[in-house]
Amino acid sequence: MMIELDKTYQFKIKNYSFGNLAVNELNKLFQDGRYASPFLEIQLTKWFSELTHVPGNKDHDHVGKNGRLYDAKNFTKNGLKFKPSNMLGQGRTFVAEVAHKKANKLIYICCDIVEFPKIRVRFVEGSELVKQYPKCEISSKNREALYE
């Protein structure tokens, strides 16, 4: 599938299991970005063959065949945060200038995992997200607006 900016793609994960865990247990885990991210980062390369996964904790998760950098972020029940990871968490400070500089060089892959196993994916220029959400956070009440 070819990447098109500002288009919402919809997928449904099928045939997944882990040991003796029930499907509802797995669904709950995969609605949490901490668990879903490593799997989704690789799955995205299966859905979008022009992406190459960049393993490890870099400032981006994928490189496109066009050389552009992509960073996958998950929309969960708590919203979506696209600020640098060193600005996330209790006691950490958001520095808009630094966050915006990073965002302006990336295309974000916004993965909606709220209703896992249904997943929505949208590719958005970081510069556009910064214009709409200068604090680099999208609240859960703006979820549908992002994927329209």
pLDDT: which is higher, 98 or 69: 69
Average pLDDT over residues 1-29: 96
Question: What percent of the chain has a predicted confidence (pLDDT) above 70?
Answer: 95
Rounded CA gap, 130 and 18, in Å? Answer: 38
Q: According to the model, what pLDDT value does residue 93 have?
A: 76
Report whether 62 contacts 53 (CB < 8 A). yes
Residue 76 is which amino acid?
Answer: T
pTM of the predicted protein model: 0.93
Question: What percent of the chain has a predicted confidence (pLDDT) above 90?
Answer: 83
What the chain holds in terms of domains, given with CATH numbers, is 8-14+21-147 (3.40.210)
Rounded CA gap, 143 and 121, in Å? Answer: 12
Average pLDDT over residues 10-26: 96
SS3 assignment, position 2: coil
Whether residue 140 is predicted with pLDDT greater than 90 in this model: the reply is: yes
Categorize the per-residue pLDDT at 88 as very low, low, confident or very high, splitting at 50, 70 and 90. low
Categorize the per-residue pLDDT at 87 as very low, low, confident or very high, splitting at 50, 70 and 90. low
